[in-house]
Structure 1
Amino acid sequence: MSSASAPQDAVVIDEEELAPTIERGYKPGKETTVEAIVSADSNDESLKRWKESLGITAGTQAFDGPKVEIHSIYLESPTLPEGEKIVIELASLPKDGSTKTIKIKEGVEYSVGIKFKVNNLVMGLRYIQVIKRAGIPMVADKIEEVIGSFGPNPEFNTNRFHSEVSPKGMLARGTYNVKTRVIDDDRVVYADFEWKFTLGKDW
């Protein structure tokens, strides 16, 4: 998109930037089911440990609904009041095409986390986030975090990612566009949404 046809602060985050990093030679495995894993050879110790790592036991069954439900993402920082988080619930995102905007303090340590529920077996769930500065569409920052593989569980899971430090200084202040995607090893997308943050002197 040329600057002549778009506003100066227009930001485009394309599919290539959101593509997950897949190890060379990776091929998605044959889809299996919770029932098949439960009934698999219980005398195989390595298989038994793998089942346990997924939280799958003899009575485990899949639940109705999407394989993975993404409830929210959140930001934590030791510079926020104790116990306080900045939360973006997917259900609260605008439905009119606009984006939700939050504030982030400059020059502080923070971390992003995700709250989700698994209704069926999912392999290689990962979080991808691309950030672009409004008015500087060629500059992008990408975060990709592997969340893991999970069996069905009626309880919500939370996963907090590695800490980051927000940019600092007059030139860094402004509005940033973010696109977040949650995807698995088979390229199934469970969440795909956009939001913004303004970087300033205070939360």
Structure 2
Amino acid sequence: MAETLNQQHHADDHHDEDVHDANYQAPPEKTIEEIMAADQEDESLRRYKEALLGAAQAEKIIVEPNDPRKVIVKKLALVVEGRDDMELDLTGDISQLKQQVFVIKEGVQYKVRIDFIVQREIVHGLKYVQKTYRMSLPVDKMAHMVGSYPPKKEIQNYLTPPEEAPSGMISRGTYSVSSVFTDDDKHIHLKWDWTFEIKKDWE
């Protein structure tokens, strides 16, 4: 992230075009039953799919019956070694998340963790995209392939590789972030904005 702060980026008003490759064609969506029925003659592949899908093949896993979504994003956390995780609850009014400002010490290594539930069907090619702005100008973008996940009763999570917070007096200040959790089929499972502030030290 620090390397990109001094680079000039063109403003981009088409966030969804950034998230998805226009030339990419996602594979056709299949149910768990269809996935299990395919390639039955390949013993090693059959066993692999059984291990991947686990109990999902035996029953339709529905964690939150009143929510029709396959992917329910529950929480975002900033993870810094030696400190308690800083968490954002994504299950409430996400329009208010900008009011909760994370303070990050300059130059520190941190990771982003996303907690989510997958229910009803397997989800393919989950992706997390995060764009960071300062005074409305883009300064950084990260995009991570999260992977394919079967439905489970437990919360699943994804942890990004380490990022380094910018350092130096010029880098201190408030940053706004736009995050998107999407997949191969171009479903936007959740899109939210949040804020962090780079300071000389922790508060």
Structure-2-length-normalised TM-score? 0.80
Match of 2:80 in 1: 77
Query: Within 5 Å, which residues of 2 pair with 1:112-127?
Result: 112-119=112-119, 120-127=121-128
Q: Which runs of 4+ in 1 moved over 6 A?
A: none
What is the alpha-carbon distance in structure 2 between the residues aligned to residue 140 and residue 46 of structure 1? 46
User: Shift of the alpha carbon at 1:184?
Assistant: 0.2
Q: 1:17 to 1:106 in 2, by over 3 A?
A: farther
What is the alpha-carbon distance in structure 1 between the residues aligned to residue 16 and residue 134 of structure 2? 14
Which stretch shifts more, 189-198 or 94-103?
94-103
**8 Å CA contact 1:18, 1:128 repeated in 2:** no
Match of 2:4 in 1: none
User: Shift of the alpha carbon at 1:29?
Assistant: 1.6
Match of 1:103 in 2: 103
Aligned partner of residue 34 in structure 2, secondary structure: helix
What is the alpha-carbon distance in structure 1 between the residues aligned to residue 155 and residue 166 of structure 2? 32
Aligned partner of residue 170 in structure 2, secondary structure: coil
**CA offset digits 1:150-193 (Å, max 9, x no partner):** 11111101211100110011100011010000000111000100
**CA offset digits 1:51-70 (Å, max 9, x no partner):** 24643454142424311010
Instruction: Let me know the Cα RMSD of the aligned residues.
Output: 2.5
Aligned partner of residue 35 in structure 1, secondary structure: helix
Match of 1:154 in 2: 153
What is the alpha-carbon distance in structure 1 between the residues aligned to residue 13 and residue 48 of structure 2? 36
Aligned partner of residue 169 in structure 2, secondary structure: coil
Higher percent of residues as helix: 2
Match of 2:183 in 1: 184
Q: Which runs of no fewer than 5 residues in structure 2 stay unpaired?
A: 1-10
Match of 1:130 in 2: 131
What is the alpha-carbon distance in structure 2 between the residues aligned to residue 93 and residue 155 of structure 1? 23
Q: 1:165 to 1:59 in 2, by over 3 A?
A: same
**8 Å CA contact 2:73, 2:91 repeated in 1:** no
Aligned with 1:28 (options 5, 26, 44): 26
Structure-1-length-normalised TM-score? 0.80
Q: Which runs of no fewer than 5 residues in structure 1 stay unpaired?
A: 1-11
The one-letter code of the counterpart of 1:199 is I
Match of 1:42 in 2: 40
